[in-house]
Structure 1
Amino acid sequence: MANAWNRIIGWWETAYLENDALRPRFLREAAAALPLNDAVGTATVYDALDWRRLRLWQDQQVPQWTPANALT
């Protein structure tokens, strides 16, 4: 996921944050699903998403996604 940081952030900015209609929804849904504080930006959302991914792996042993296991 760290290798895709620029692509993920770029997609969020292009698809959601630059669109006046989608920006509020994206931020509301991110705030509802992720541990975010009041300062919400793409880097903050990414960090919260990465934290959630790590917690799922640690607490529930959810397997890490890799390109190799995506095809199986």
Structure 2
Amino acid sequence: MEYPAKGSLEWIDIRLIFVFSVMIFLLVLIFISIFGCFFLIRYAKTYSKHDNDLYVQYIRGSRLRSTTS
């Protein structure tokens, strides 16, 4: 397989497709992380009203452990 010359249109198309695919992949990762954090915070807020919840106890315990060490 021969690579197209750097000045040809095929080379530019290949590079553009690669750059756009990487950008789209990064944007999807960023959106997933933002929405993941948002839903985690929302989940913690809705369930932190119940002090007996295991999730809240786990967070408090991990905070206590991290401050003492």
Structure of higher RCO (CA pairs closer than 8 Å, 6+ residues apart):
1
Which structure has the bigger radius of gyration? 2
TM-score by structure 1 length?
0.31
Greater helix share, structure number: 2
